[in-house]
Amino acid sequence: MGEQSNFFYAVPQGRHDMLVTPDRDELARQEFVRGFKAYIQSGIVPGVHATYHNEVKPAFEKREGRSPRDRHEIRKLMVEHPLFRTYASMQRVSQELLWDTVLDSVERELPALVARTANRNSLGTLTLDPSLPLPKYAVGVDIHCMPGGYGGEGGPGDVVAGALYDRGVYLYALGMMGPMNDDIGGSAAKFVRDRYPDFKPKRILDLGCTVGHSTLPFVDAFPEAEVHAIDIGPSLLRYAHARAESLGKRVHFSQQDAANTRFPDGHFDLIASSILFHETSGKALPAILRECHRLLAPGGMAVHGDLPPFWAMDEFNQFMLDCETYYNNEPYWGAMREVDQVKESVKAGFAAEHVEFCMAPSAYRSSAGHEREFQAGEFAPGNAWQVLVTRKQ
Amino acid sequence: MTESTRPQDVGSPDIKVKRSVKGRRPQFFDNVEIDRLHGMMMAMATEMAVLYQRIDTMERVAAEKGVILREDLERHVADAATESERELWRQKFLDRLFYLYREELDDRMARENEAQYRAFLDEIAK
- Which pLDDT score is estimated for B84? 84
When pLDDT is averaged across residues A63-87 and rounded to a whole number, the result is: 95
Chain B CB contacts of A33 below 8 Å: 46
Paired strand residues for A389: A303, A356
- Which pLDDT score is estimated for A368? 55
Q: Considering only alpha carbons, which residue of chain A is nearest residue B27?
A: A89
Among the partner residues A88, A94, A107, nearest to B28 by beta-carbon distance: A88
Segment 334-363 of chain A within 8 Å of chain B by CB: 335
More confident residue, A35 or A117: A117
Is the per-residue pLDDT at B93 higher than 90? no
What share of chain B in percent tops pLDDT 70? Answer: 90
Q: Residue A228: count other Cβ atoms within 10 Å of its Cβ.
A: 25
The confidence band for A377, taking pLDDT boundaries of 50, 70 and 90, is very low
A327 touches chain B (CB under 8 A): yes
- Closest-CA distance, A266 to chain B, in angstroms, reads 29
Return all residues near A296 (Cβ < 8 A) that are at least 6 apart.
Answer: A266, A268, A269, A271, A302, A392
More confident residue, A276 or B9: A276
- Which pLDDT score is estimated for A208? 98
A30 touches chain B (CB under 8 A): no
- Closest-CA distance, B74 to chain A, in angstroms, reads 23
Nearest 5°: the CA angle A320, A142, B119 is 70
* Out of A109-118, A175-184, A359-368, B8-17, least confident range: B8-17
* Out of A113-117, A220-224, A227-231, B64-68, least confident range: B64-68
| Number of inter-chain CB pairs under 8 A, A vs B | 136
Among the partner residues A29, A36, A147, nearest to B20 by beta-carbon distance: A147
Buried residues in A309-326 as b, exposed as e (16+ CB within 10 A):
bbeebebbbbbbbbbbbb
Pair A280, A336: CB distance under 8 Å: yes
A328 touches chain B (CB under 8 A): no
Q: Considering only alpha carbons, which residue of chain B is nearest residue A87?
A: B28
Question: What letter would DSSP give residue A260?
Answer: B
The confidence band for A111, taking pLDDT boundaries of 50, 70 and 90, is very high
When pLDDT is averaged across residues A27-56 and rounded to a whole number, the result is: 88
Q: Considering only alpha carbons, which residue of chain B is nearest residue A145?
A: B21
In angstroms, the CA A131 to CA A380 distance is 36
What share of chain A in percent tops pLDDT 90? Answer: 77
Which amino acid does the sequence have at B122? Answer: D
A103·B19 Cβ contact <8 A: yes
Return all residues near A268 (Cβ < 8 A) that are at least 6 apart.
Answer: A201, A203, A204, A205, A228, A295, A296, A297, A300
Return all residues near A376 (Cβ < 8 A) that are at least 6 apart.
Answer: A45, A313, A316, A317, A318, A320, A321
In angstroms, the CA A216 to CA B107 distance is 38
Give Cα A314 to chain centroid, integer Å. Answer: 22
Chain A CB contacts of B43 below 8 Å: 97
- Which pLDDT score is estimated for B11? 65
- Closest Cα to residue B95, out of B25, B1, B6? B6
- Which pLDDT score is estimated for A10? 62
Return all residues near A53 (Cβ < 8 A) that are at least 6 apart.
Answer: A316
Chain B CB contacts of A156 below 8 Å: 14-15
Return all residues near A39 (Cβ < 8 A) that are at least 6 apart.
Answer: A5
Among the partner residues B53, B57, B117, nearest to A141 by beta-carbon distance: B117
The mean pLDDT value of chain A amounts to 91
In angstroms, the CA A84 to CA A80 distance is 8
Q: Considering only alpha carbons, which residue of chain B is nearest residue A325?
A: B121
- Which pLDDT score is estimated for B9? 46
- Which pLDDT score is estimated for B56? 84
A80 touches chain B (CB under 8 A): no
B46 touches chain A (CB under 8 A): yes
In angstroms, the CA B33 to CA A74 distance is 26
Is the per-residue pLDDT at B113 higher than 90? no
When pLDDT is averaged across residues A153-171 and rounded to a whole number, the result is: 95
- Which pLDDT score is estimated for A199? 97
B19·A147 Cβ contact <8 A: yes
Q: What are phi and psi of A237, to 5 degrees?
A: -70, -40
- Closest-CA distance, A109 to chain B, in angstroms, reads 7
Global pTM? 0.88
A108·B10 Cβ contact <8 A: yes
When pLDDT is averaged across residues A251-268 and rounded to a whole number, the result is: 98
Strands laid side by side in the A252-255 sheet: A125-127, A252-255, A226-231, A203-207, A268-274, A296-306, A384-391, A355-361
- Which pLDDT score is estimated for B10? 53
In angstroms, the CA A273 to CA A214 distance is 8
B96 touches chain A (CB under 8 A): yes
A88 touches chain B (CB under 8 A): yes
Indicate the Cα dihedral angle B73, B75, B81, B87, nearest 10°: 60
Interface confidence (ipTM) of the complex:
0.75
- Closest Cα to residue A302, out of A152, A179, A225, A201? A201
Is the per-residue pLDDT at B106 higher than 50? yes
Is the CA virtual torsion B41, B47, B50, B54 positive or negative?
negative
Q: Which CATH superfamily is domain A7-393 in?
A: Vaccinia Virus protein VP39 (3.40.50.150)
Return all residues near A21 (Cβ < 8 A) that are at least 6 apart.
Answer: A105, A109
DSSP per position, A72-124: HHHHHHHTT-HHHHHHHHHHHHHHHHHHHHHHHHHHHHHHHHHHHTSS---SS
Pair B12, A111: CB distance under 8 Å: yes
Pair A291, A259: CB distance under 8 Å: yes
In angstroms, the CA B95 to CA B19 distance is 11
What share of chain B in percent tops pLDDT 90? Answer: 22
β A125-127/A203-207 pair status: unpaired
- Which pLDDT score is estimated for B112? 77
B40, B46, B92, B96: which to substitute to probe chain A, counting the most A Cβ within 10 Å?
Answer: B46
A141, A142, A153, A324: which to substitute to probe chain B, counting the most B Cβ within 10 Å?
Answer: A141
Residue A174's region, left for phi above 0, alpha for psi from -120 to 50, else beta, is left
